[in-house]
Structure formats: structure tokens, C-alpha cells
Amino acid sequence: MLDQSPIAQGSSGADALRNTLDLARLADGLGYHRYWVAEHHGGPMLAGPSPEVLIGPLAAATEGIRVGSGGVMLPHYSPLKVAESFTILAALFPGRIDLGLGRAAGTDPLTTFALQRDRRQAAPDDFPQQLAELLAYFEDDLPEDHPFRHLARSLPGLPELPEPWLLGSSEQSGIWAAELGMRYAFADFINSSGASIAQLYRERFQPVRDLKSPRLAVAVWALAAPTDEEAEHLALSSQMAFKMLRRGQLIPVPSPEKAASWLAGEGGPRNARPGRRSIVGSPEKVRAGLEEAASEYGADELIVVTITHDHAARRRSYELIADAFGLDPRRELTAAALVS
């Protein structure tokens, strides 16, 4: 699961963050394998700018599910600081921490500039170098004459390390993941034409790290409800929010009723996310759609992304998907965990 911590209209960012914690507990109990939180800055729709801050409380509130970033937007940070933060998390929650890394800003250019420490000029576009440095800290593999070489041995959480993933939605990210021998998470919910990129990743993969063969996860937007009609109604919230986003207008997630009224005035097809893959419907329909996406990519894992106005509807969607795939519950859910 990838949780972007959506803020529903009429609620607050604090409410969205509490919902993230609640959803992580539910995911853990239902038997999901990973729970990732995203990084977005400076808007009223999503409340998750700091995955490194959220991961600790999420891991503490759960028992067996892996918890990680989907992802840390590395251009905003020092590779050493990211390495330090995530080895701390790995030490506190051994074998459960993922570090998904991305190149995108996760925001608009002005907010990107505001996030910089040095604002005398725009930050350099040196993501490959940042990524190589970060991985070298984990592996204590900086060159002998590198001025930071000694710092790799003082990472606070050693010997525990997070599991690194490269996130992306472009051909270049697939090439980098392959050349560096990294696990690769492709954002189909951003670019649904990525099957050829996945194939390129597999073809060029070099087993230069701990991974001996390619490992591909695909993140897909999906929403399940008891009936197709209900799911399509719930998805109207995301459709309106997405259309506004494409116009450069970020809004809190509207109610389906408000979205239906607004969309009626807009005209056009009723598609949850026009131009992008959306798997919306009954549990059976969603399972079939997710399996089709996995087959198209040759994916090892599927990551489900869901946004609704009503938190209870989002919980219910993940419950229905877990049931449709026959996930093995990690524990018995308490009565409190079942209350939205």
C-alpha cells in the first residue's frame, strides 16, 4: 500500500495523519506486505511531506508489516542525512524498513526553492551522484581518498540497514535502477505506459549489490466497493481533484456529491483519472484489473494507491482487495481496529 495521506474537504492535515496511522494498523492486520508513505509539499490535498518522520510511529504502531518511504525525494536532502535517519529507523525496527528514493520534487518550483537551505541559486541536478553517495554510505564503499569515507562507519543504526528501492515513472529511472542493481518501484498511477520500461529494467539489470535478479513493484491506482456503481461514485472525488491538479489548482479531496455536481458542469467522460489507469469497481473487477496490470509489467509486487473523501470508504476498499486476493491476516483485528 502507498498512502499519500489525503486531506478530505472539511477536515485537517492532523486528521489525515491520524487516518494514515489508522490505515497502517489495518494494513498490518489484513496481511499486506508493505506500507509506504509519500512525500509531497506545500498543498492542501496531501499531508505527508516527511516520510522519515511518519515511518517511526507507523512501525511502532504495527507488528509485522514492512514500513517505508514511497518515497524520499532525494534532491531536497543531503545523502548523509538520509543515511543517518534511515539507519536509525532500521535499528529500531530491524528487517522492516524500506527506503524508496525518488528524483521528483513532489511540489511546484517555488516550494522546491523554499525547501532549499542555500537559496543563492537553484540546486544542481545531480541525482545520480546523490544516489551513488547514499548507497556507498550503506555499503562503506566510498573511494579511499573520498573526504566523507569515514562517515560511513559512524552511521548510528549500524549494522542494521534499510532496504533501498528506486522509484520512478520514466525510462531513465529504469536504467538507473538496472545499472545500480536496485529494486525498482514503477509508478503506473503516473505513467500507465510503463511495460516497456519494466522490460528495459529487467534486460539491463546488473547484480552488483545484494540483489541477484531484478525486483519490480508496480504502483497502481485502484478503488474497490461492494458494487461497481458505488465504487464509481466514490471515485468522483479523485476525478475532480485530479482535474483541478492538472490545471495547477490543488484542493482538498471533495465529497463525491460535490464532485458529481462539479463534473456535471464540466462535461466529458466520467473517468476517475482521465488519461491514466484507474481500476475501479467491485472486488472481483478490481482483482482482475490488478492482475492484468501485474501481468502486463511482469511485476513481482503490486502497490495499491487509493484516495477517497471518506476514510471509512478507503479502509473498506483495502479490506475488500485483501479479501479478493485471499491475503492471510497477520493477526485478529480487534473491535477498535474495525471502527473507522
Count of alpha carbons within 13 Å of 99, Cβ hemisphere only?
Answer: 22
| pLDDT value at residue 337 | 44
pLDDT of residue 105: 84
Please give the model's pTM, rounded to 2 decimal places.
0.92
Domains of the chain plus CATH, in order, are: 2-324 (3.20.20.30)
Which pLDDT belongs to residue 340? 35
- At residue 202, the pLDDT reads 97
pLDDT of residue 334: 44
Yes or no: say if 211 and 178 are a contact pair by the CB < 8 Å rule: no
Q: What is the pLDDT of residues 248-273, one digit of tens each?
A: 899 999 999 999 999 999 875 555 55
DSSP 300: S
What is residue 122's predicted lDDT score, i.e. its pLDDT?
84
Task: Please give the grid coordinates belonging to residue 240.
Answer: 475532480
Using alpha carbons, select from 226, 229, 171, 242 the residue that is nearest to residue 201: 171
Return the C-alpha cell found at 213: 535478479
> What's residue 119's pLDDT?
87
Average pLDDT across each block of 10 residues of the chain; the chain has 340 residues. List them in order: 97 98 98 97 94 98 97 94 98 98 89 87 90 97 94 96 97 97 97 96 96 97 98 96 90 97 79 75 98 97 98 98 95 45
Convert the pLDDT of each residue in 295-338 to its tens digit. 999 999 999 999 999 999 999 999 999 999 999 998 654 434 44
pLDDT of the residue at 274: 58
